[in-house]
Amino acid sequence: MSKCELLIFDWDGTLADSIGRIVQAMHLAAAECDLPRLDDASVKGIIGLALPDAIACLYPQLTSAASIEVFRQRYSEHYLALEHQPSPLFPGVVEWLERFREQGMLLAVATGKSRRGLDRMLASCRWERYFDITRCADETAGKPDPLMLDEILVHCGKRADQAVMVGDSVFDLQMAQRAGMEAVAVSYGAQAPDVLAQHSPQRIINRFEELGEWLAARNACEVERYVG
């Protein structure tokens, strides 16, 4: 284990409090496409995947690319309407991103959102200034494929053992495992702690500020081990 120098974040449900709007937009799109309304837990279970993959998982009866695209368009229209005011970041996120920056950490985003969607969110409140690189599912392989993490590592000039992935879904944790990277799960996002725990994250946090506390203790232990 090396000192962590790069933090990589999922977006929806990890940094941004947007899960409720995603679920609502899925339900509205299903109604317009004459598809059954699924329970909220089922919809939350696919958050993190690239949107076409998520739709195919939820509604396997959509057997053609054209039918999935129609659903995607309906979902996007509803989500944009719900997001006329961008979803806020969770409490403590802005303060800790600034603190991580002051500590010299590199910061990145690895998300299942589209590039257009993420850029719109980042530009809305100038959040792009916090991140050295962002990667989206429509410009690389989607989660849980580790390609976007590999691309972030190359861009930042870091090894997998110098980075930590932070996310709220099993797809985030699986992606980190496949990249040989440690992961921290958040309990306040899309998926329940007992589900996340099955994928052996190094820590499950209940508040964003706990990430800073865990990281400080982790890096201190690594420095002590090296010096000792």
Asked if residue 67 and residue 93 are part of one domain, the reply reads no
Asked if residue 126 and residue 48 are part of one domain, the reply reads no
CATH code of 69's domain: 1.10.150
Q: Give the Cα separation of 74 and 121 in Å (integer).
A: 19
Q: Give the Cα separation of 96 and 209 in Å (integer).
A: 7
- What is the pTM for the complete model shown? 0.93
What type of residue is 209?
E
Asked if residue 147 and residue 120 are part of one domain, the reply reads yes
Q: Which token pair is 81?
A: 């309407």
Asked if residue 25 and residue 42 are part of one domain, the reply reads yes
Say what the pLDDT of residue 225 is.
55
Listed residue (68, 75, 30) closest to 52, CA to CA: 68
Asked if residue 212 and residue 115 are part of one domain, the reply reads yes
Domain assignment of residue 1, yes or no: no
Which domain range does residue 111 map to? 6-17+88-227
Q: How many domains does the chain have?
A: 2
| The 182-186 sheet, strands edge to edge | 133-136, 106-111, 6-9, 163-167, 182-186, 203-205
CATH code of 147's domain: 3.40.50.1000
Asked if residue 95 and residue 185 are part of one domain, the reply reads yes
Mean pLDDT confidence for 136-151: 96
Instruction: Give the tens place of pLDDT for each residue, 178-226.
Output: 999 999 999 999 999 999 999 999 999 999 999 999 998 887 766 545 4
Say what the pLDDT of residue 226 is.
46
Instruction: Give the tens place of pLDDT for each residue, 10-27.
Output: 999 999 999 999 999 999
Say what the pLDDT of residue 84 is.
86
pLDDT confidence band for 28 (50 / 70 / 90): very high
Asked if residue 159 and residue 93 are part of one domain, the reply reads yes
